Amino acid sequence: MGLRERKKLKTRGAIQQEALRLFIEQGYAETTVEQIAEAAEVSQSTFFRYFPTKEETVLYDPLDPVLLESFARQPAELTPIAAIRAATKEVFSLLSEAEWERELERQRLVILAPELRSALFDKFVDGMAMLAEAVAARVGRDPADHDVKVWAGAVIGVLLAAMTETMREGKDGLSDIPGNFDAALATLDNGLAL
């Protein structure tokens, strides 16, 4: 990654970090774009170059591209579910304590703020499309293939179930998101048998 791309990532991360801090301190609805831009030491026009809306500062998931990259690197002999499980473990294990805390706060805000929960559906659609492309490349099928799209939707669904269950467990349960994700993917891998 070049210097310019690294600077962009750093600026995006700083804006998101300040937004999350303000949302936690003041509340999501009470925080303005102007306050976020000021805290991140950027202009409002710079804010909007990185995030088209205030809600995007929370909905943007910096781990998605990292997870998909790790998924693509997993050994070819792994099944797609096994590759996702390995990628999830790998990426979560690389997060620093500060990065992990920020991600937990972001997830907590997404789940608990009603105005963000309602916008989450679009993000799931985007996530399913990205995952469908990644798994299609892995198994040599078309991303538009019905079974590929259903598979991607099932993976996103079990991860959402694991995340909401973790959030219900409260702060103590948050530390085991990787374990809950892995258990949810194992359930899917075993055919969702009840």
CATH code of the domain in which 103 resides: 1.10.357.10
CA 175 to chain centre: 16
Task: Measure the CA–CA gap between 135 and 132, rounded to whole angstroms.
Answer: 5
CATH number at residue 40: 1.10.10.60
Pick the last residue of a domain from 35, 54, 73: 54
One domain, residues 142 and 125? yes
Give domain status of residue 194, yes or no.
no
CB 95 within 8 A of CB 66: no
One domain, residues 43 and 134? no
Task: Measure the CA–CA gap between 9 and 86, rounded to whole angstroms.
Answer: 25
Give domain status of residue 138, yes or no.
yes
Q: What share of the chain is helix, strand, coil (3-state, %, to 5)?
A: 80, 0, 20
The pLDDT score that the predictor gives to residue 169 is 64
Task: Measure the CA–CA gap between 37 and 129, rounded to whole angstroms.
Answer: 31
Mean pLDDT by 10 residues, the chain (194 residues): 82 91 90 95 95 90 87 94 92 85 81 78 84 94 94 88 72 65 86 75
The pLDDT score that the predictor gives to residue 51 is 94
61: closest CA among 90, 99, 114, 21?
99
Q: Which residue has the tokens 């804010």?
A: 47
One domain, residues 123 and 170? yes
Range of the domain at 27: 3-54
pTM of the model: 0.74
Give domain status of residue 176, yes or no.
yes
Q: How many CA atoms, within 13 angstroms, populate the side-chain half-sphere of residue 159?
A: 17
One domain, residues 177 and 88? yes
Q: Which residue has the tokens 């679009």?
A: 122
